[in-house]
Structure 1
Amino acid sequence: MRSLNQLRRLRKTVVGIKKAWLTGFWKMDIDPSVDMSLSAKFDKTYPAGIHVGAQTYVAFEARILTHDMTRNLRSDTRIGARCFIGGRSLILPGVEIGDDCIVGAGAVVTKSVPAGSIVVGNPAKVIRSGMTLLSYGRVPPDDSV
């Protein structure tokens, strides 16, 4: 019987290939320490507008957009360091998410988010600020959310 840890290594390899494709071929600015789900989607209409900081995690089916065809808009979208972008969330073009932020699952982020914040909902609203997070958006053990 094979260990599940072997699948973990395979996943890490496949995610590494996806990041190399996004940064090498599409020229997105994604830090090498970023981790992501294989189903996370990054806008390829204006790929140079994607910027993701160090030690950030982008969860399953999250979408990061850099264009809006209805307004003929192409804009940089920035995600800071040590952030967690929840599953099925949507980050709209031109939004800047500061360092140490958590975007809740299913949130629709329409406006920039200050550093150290937790945002949830549609449209996303800040429910907590002043956070200092660990790598990949983990909350420190002494800090209850």
Structure 2
Amino acid sequence: MSEETAARRQRPRTLRQRLQHFMRVRFWRMDIAADAWIAPTASLDRNWPRGIHVGENCVIDEWAIVLSHDYTRGLYRDTVIGPRSVIGTRAIVMPGVRIGADCRVEPGTVVSRDLVDGEHVAGHPARKVGSS
């Protein structure tokens, strides 16, 4: 685990984050672990909210986008982010993608394929740059 991730996990949630978590879990029925840290500016798809699954100890950073639908193709798919994974700033996770445990998605990356456990990706499209 990187120092940045450890520091982020120890940071308490703001009131806005607590309210967003409540709305996402109770109202929108998203499957989000209680200890996941999601930035206030991150966007989780509300057009198919039950398709969003975020594992424990995940970090979804500022302005990241997690999608579970594609209107142009009429797709509504489950998007899964495994435990202890980190989604970087302005990264985009496309619908139907499964991100394994302990994965790291660098800032600005577009993830359009499944990632195995411990994979470290960057770029557009996402390319493997290492493993955890």
User: What is the CA-CA distance between 1:36 and the residue it aligns to?
Assistant: 1.3
CA distance in 2, matches of 1:20, 1:61: 19
Q: For 1:1-145, what aligned pairs fall within 5 Å after superposition?
A: 11-129=13-131, 131=132
TM-score, structure 2 normalization? 0.89
Q: 1:105: how far off?
A: 0.1
Give the 3-state SS of the residue equivalent to 1:44 in structure 2. coil
The count of corresponding residues between Structure 1 and Structure 2 is 122
After TM superposition, what 4+ stretches of structure 1 lie above 3 angstroms from structure 2?
none
Larger strand fraction of residues: 2
- 1: distance between equivalents of 2:116 and 2:127? 11
Structure 2 unaligned blocks of 5 or more:
1-10
Q: After TM superposition, give the deviation of residue 13 of structure 1 in Å.
A: 2.7
Task: State the distance in 2 between where 1:24 and 1:125 align.
Answer: 35
Query: What is the RMSD of the two structures over their aligned residues, measured on CA atoms?
Result: 1.1
TM-score (norm 1): 0.81
Unaligned 5+ runs, structure 1:
1-7, 132-145
Q: Tell me how far 1:126 sits from its aligned partner.
A: 1.1
1:16, distance to aligned residue in structure 2 (A): 1.3
Letter in 2 for 1:53: G
- How far residue 88 of structure 1 moved from its aligned partner, in angstroms, is 0.2
Give the partner amino acid of 1:121. G
Structure 1: how far apart are the matches of 2:31 and 2:81?
10
Q: Determine helix, strand or coil for the equivalent of 2:102.
A: coil
Percent identity of paired positions between Structure 1 and Structure 2: 39
State the Cα distance separating 1:123 from its structure 2 match: 0.4
